[in-house]
Structures are given as structure tokens and as C-alpha cells.
């Protein structure tokens, strides 16, 4: 096997070819592939492609052979050992040789050297698992050995206090601080309308925000009614009783102000503002994340905020104010109680009567 530092350009070309081939594992024809691509979220496709490309690069550099399905269980176990940290006499360590780690960074398969976050490893395994399932191949990720190692790894990380990272929730107080940074310029009006629309209509996901149009956001006497189509929990866009999300009060006023100033009469609501006040194309999901982060920075508030902070902030604030969980889920569109209950309980914790039995 060649050393990782030699033939890097060839490895780059090879791993890209392998990743492209593996990217087709769900399809038998170009038409089917196109349908799967169109029906999937852009972020999902990008993360899947990134994972496959990394598997191909790691396999070639670490084992000296191209990635091919099915993968043996021992290879998956080696991948885990290479990318998660375990206790050693010298402290926390991982098994990926430094030279190979550097080579992966050199070909831009990794951003920086060192172990992955546990969530990243779990995602890489999930993508590999799905690839095997789609091909009806023996799935090493479902083996007892892999599942046991991952169970023990999660426990080890938890004992170290390294739980899953979550973005901070934008509850009412920090949200007000973000809104205070929005002036009456076109960008300020847009950002104020976007923040209030996303938060007050039930904590909309950024993919849902960028799909809001004047065709699916109708004016009503109380303000606006945003009719959601396809979403993360409703991939087929099936008509549901809770698909209409109200945009009322301050959120409606902010949206009306933005529409009047931008003179948008059809199509996407939230758009780029170019130099000279020229209204451009629709914002991307990534732009929504950047807007939230930029406003948080401008407000000078401490914490790690992103687009999901609007969603978690809505649920947390609703729990703090004692709203029933069913009403909250009707607004957010969560399909599972398990995914929303944590934020709800966090918000309701300080107002719990059970905490004041001695008062």
C-alpha cells in the first residue's frame, strides 16, 4: 500500500468516482434517480453525498482498496475506532493514524484533523446502513457487534458529560433582542418579518420558511394563514387539518410591512436584497441560518444560535407559559412527542408546582 502522502491527486479522482457510483445505490435508472433527488431535501442529499465521499476516501487510504458494498463488520468497527475517542493511559485517543488523518484533510474529505463528533459518526453509519438496505445486502451496521459498540460509546461519552450538542433556544427574551437589531431598511424589515414569521407561526423549519410564497400565504382578517405543503413530517404533502399555520399579531404586521416595502406581489416572500435596494431571488435555507446567527451576533447575546433555535425557542417558551403539549404540536407539526417533549419540559421546569411543594 502506498503511503497516504503519495498519489493524493489520484486518490481524489478515485474517491470521487467511487462516491458517484455509490450515489446511485438507490436507483436503477436516471429517471428514478431524478425523482429521488427532486423529492429529497437539498440538505439531506448534500449530507448523504458528503458521507459517501468520506467513506470512499477513508476506505482507500486506511485499507488500500476501493470501497465496495457489502462492507465487512470488522471494517465498520475499525471506522468507529478511528473516529471516536476512547480512554487510554495517555488520555483520550482515537485509532486513525496521524498520516492518514492529514491525508484526508489534504484531499478535503475532512475539514480538520482529529476525531469526529459522535453525531457525525452516527450519521456516517446511518448513511452506510441505508446504502446496504437499498441494495438488499447484508447490513453490517445492524450487526450485534456494531450496535453494542455504539451503545457503549454513547454511554462513555455521556459519562464524560459529552451529550448531543443542541443549539440554544431563542425564547421570547433573546428573540426580542434580535428583533431590536432590525431597523426600517429593506434588510431590517425582511429580517424582522422572517424572524417573527418563523417563530410565531409555530417555529417553522428553515426549509419551510424559504418555501413560503404569496400563493400559499393568504391574507385573512386576522393577518395571514400559511398553508404548508410537503414538510419533513409530511413528505407527500398530504392535506391535513393542521397544515394551516396562523401568522397574526406582530408577526402579521411585520410581514405586511416587508411586503409593502419590497413590493412583492407573487412568488417567494423572503428574498435577497441586493445593492441599491433591488429585490433578488428567494433566500436559501443556508441564508436563513446566517440571518439568525448574524442578528444574534449583532444583538450581543451569548449562546450558540442557528435557524433551529427559532423552533426550539417557540416550544420552550410555550412550555414556560404553560401551553398544553397537544396545542404546541398542532402549531409546530411535530409528528412525535419524543422529539418535542424535551424542549417543552425545559420551558415548564421552573413553573412546575412540584418544585414548590415547600412554599
pLDDT, residue 15, reads 47
Residue 167 falls inside a structural domain: no
pLDDT digits (tens, 9 = 90+) for 8-64: 445 445 545 544 555 554 444 455 455 445 555 566 677 788 899 999 999 999 999
pLDDT, residue 219, reads 94
Residue 306 falls inside a structural domain: yes
Q: What are phi and psi of 62, to 5 degrees?
A: -80, -40
181: domain range? 172-353
| Among the listed residues 247, 271, 275, 250, the one whose alpha carbon sits nearest the alpha carbon of residue 259 | 271
Q: Are residues 282 and 138 in the same domain?
A: no
**Residues near 344 by beta carbon (within 8 Å), at least 6 away in sequence:** 315, 316, 318, 319, 325, 328
Q: How many Å apart are CA 262 and CA 90, to the nearest integer?
A: 60
Q: Are residues 97 and 206 in the same domain?
A: no
Q: Mean pLDDT highest for which of 7-16, 119-128, 162-171?
A: 119-128
- Residue that wins the pLDDT comparison between 41 and 229: 229
Q: Are residues 128 and 193 in the same domain?
A: no
**Residues near 320 by beta carbon (within 8 Å), at least 6 away in sequence:** 171, 347, 348, 350, 351
Mean pLDDT, range 74-96, rounded to an integer: 94
pLDDT, residue 5, reads 40
Q: Are residues 192 and 331 in the same domain?
A: yes
pLDDT, residue 63, reads 96
Q: Are residues 181 and 48 in the same domain?
A: no
Q: Are residues 120 and 178 in the same domain?
A: no
Measure Cα distances from 139 to 75, 111, 143, 212 in Å. 12, 28, 7, 40
Q: Domain with 190 in it: what CATH number?
A: 1.10.443.10
pTM exceeds 0.85: no
Q: Is 279 in a helix, a strand, or coil?
A: strand
Mean pLDDT, range 201-225, rounded to an integer: 94
On the question of pLDDT at 176 being above 80, the answer is yes
Q: Are residues 122 and 194 in the same domain?
A: no
Q: Are residues 184 and 257 in the same domain?
A: yes
Residue 302 falls inside a structural domain: yes
Q: Are residues 269 and 141 in the same domain?
A: no
On the question of pLDDT at 193 being above 50, the answer is yes
Mean pLDDT, range 216-231, rounded to an integer: 87
- Cβ atoms within 10 A of the Cβ of 259, count? 19
Q: Are residues 196 and 321 in the same domain?
A: yes
- Give the chain's mean pLDDT: 83
Q: Domain with 108 in it: what CATH number?
A: 1.10.150.130
On the question of pLDDT at 88 being above 60, the answer is yes
Q: How many Å apart are CA 209 and CA 306, to the nearest integer?
A: 14
Instruction: Pick the last residue of a domain from 134, 159, 184.
Output: 159
Q: How many Å apart are CA 251 and CA 202, to the nearest integer?
A: 11
**Residue 223 near residue 248 (C-beta atoms within 8 A):** yes
Number of domains in the chain: 2
Residue 3 falls inside a structural domain: no
Residue 151 falls inside a structural domain: yes
Residue 178 falls inside a structural domain: yes
pLDDT, residue 90, reads 86
Q: How many Å apart are CA 357 and CA 272, to the nearest integer?
A: 53
Q: Are residues 136 and 188 in the same domain?
A: no
| Among the listed residues 223, 242, 220, 221, the one whose alpha carbon sits nearest the alpha carbon of residue 231 | 242
Q: Are residues 187 and 267 in the same domain?
A: yes
Residue 359 falls inside a structural domain: no
pLDDT digits (tens, 9 = 90+) for 281-339: 999 989 999 999 999 999 999 888 999 999 999 988 988 888 888 888 888 887 666 66
- Residue that wins the pLDDT comparison between 336 and 265: 265
Amino acid at each position: 500500500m502506498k503511503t497516504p502522502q503519495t498519489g493524493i491527486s489520484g486518490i481524489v479522482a478515485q474517491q470521487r468516482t467511487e462516491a458517484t457510483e455509490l450515489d446511485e445505490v438507490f436507483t436503477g435508472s436516471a429517471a428514478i434517480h431524478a425523482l429521488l433527488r427532486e423529492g429529497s431535501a437539498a440538505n439531506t442529499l448534500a449530507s448523504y453525498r458528503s458521507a459517501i465521499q468520506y467513506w470512499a476516501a477513508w476506505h482507500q487510504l486506511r485499507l488500500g482498496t476501493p470501497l465496495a458494498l457489502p462492507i465487512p463488520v470488522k471494517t465498520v468497527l475499525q471506522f468507529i475506532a478511528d473516529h471516536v475517542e476512547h480512554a487510554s493511559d495517555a488520555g483520550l485517543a482515537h485509532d486513525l493514524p496521524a498520516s492518514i488523518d492529514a491525508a484526508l484533510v489534504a484531499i478535503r474529505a475532512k475539514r480538520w484533523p482529529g476525531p469526529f463528533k459522535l453525531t457525525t459518526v452516527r450519521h456516517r453509519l446511518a448513511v452506510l446502513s441505508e446504502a446496504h438496505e437499498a441494495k438488499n445486502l447484508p447490513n453490517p451496521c445492524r450487526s450485534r457487534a456494531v450496535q453494542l459498540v455504539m451503545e457503549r460509546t454513547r454511554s462513555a461519552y455521556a459519562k464524560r458529560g459529552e451529550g448531543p450538542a443542541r443549539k440554544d433556544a431563542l425564547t421570547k427574551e433573546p428573540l426580542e433582542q434580535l428583533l431590536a437589531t432590525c431597523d426600517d431598511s429593506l434588510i431590517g424589515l425582511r429580517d424582522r418579518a422572517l424572524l417573527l414569521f418563523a417563530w410565531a407561526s409555530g417555529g417553522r423549519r428553515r426549509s419551510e420558511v424559504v418555501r413560503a410564497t404569496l400563493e400559499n400565504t393568504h391574507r385573512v382578517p386576522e393577518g395571514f394563514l400559511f398553508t404548508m405543503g410537503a414538510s419533513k413530517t409530511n413528505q407527500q404533502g398530504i392535506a391535513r387539518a393542521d397544515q394551516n399555520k396562523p401568522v397574526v399579531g406582530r408577526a402579521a404586521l411585520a410581514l405586511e410591512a416587508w411586503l409593502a416595502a419590497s413590493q412583492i406581489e407573487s412568488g417567494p416572500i423572503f428574498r435577497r436584497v441586493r445593492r441599491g435596494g433591488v429585490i433578488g431571488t428567494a433566500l436559501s435555507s443556508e441564508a436563513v441560518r446566517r440571518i439568525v446567527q448574524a442578528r444574534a451576533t449583532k444583538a450581543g447575546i451569548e449562546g450558540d444560535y442557528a435557524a433551529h433555535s427559532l423552533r426550539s425557542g417557540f416550544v420552550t417558551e410555550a412550555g414556560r407559559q404553560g401551553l398544553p403539549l397537544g396545542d404546541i404540536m398542532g402549531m409546530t407539526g411535530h409528528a412525535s412527542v419524543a422529539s418535542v417533549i424535551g424542549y417543552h419540559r425545559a420551558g415548564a421546569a421552573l413553573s412546575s408546582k412540584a418544585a414548590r411543594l415547600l412554599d
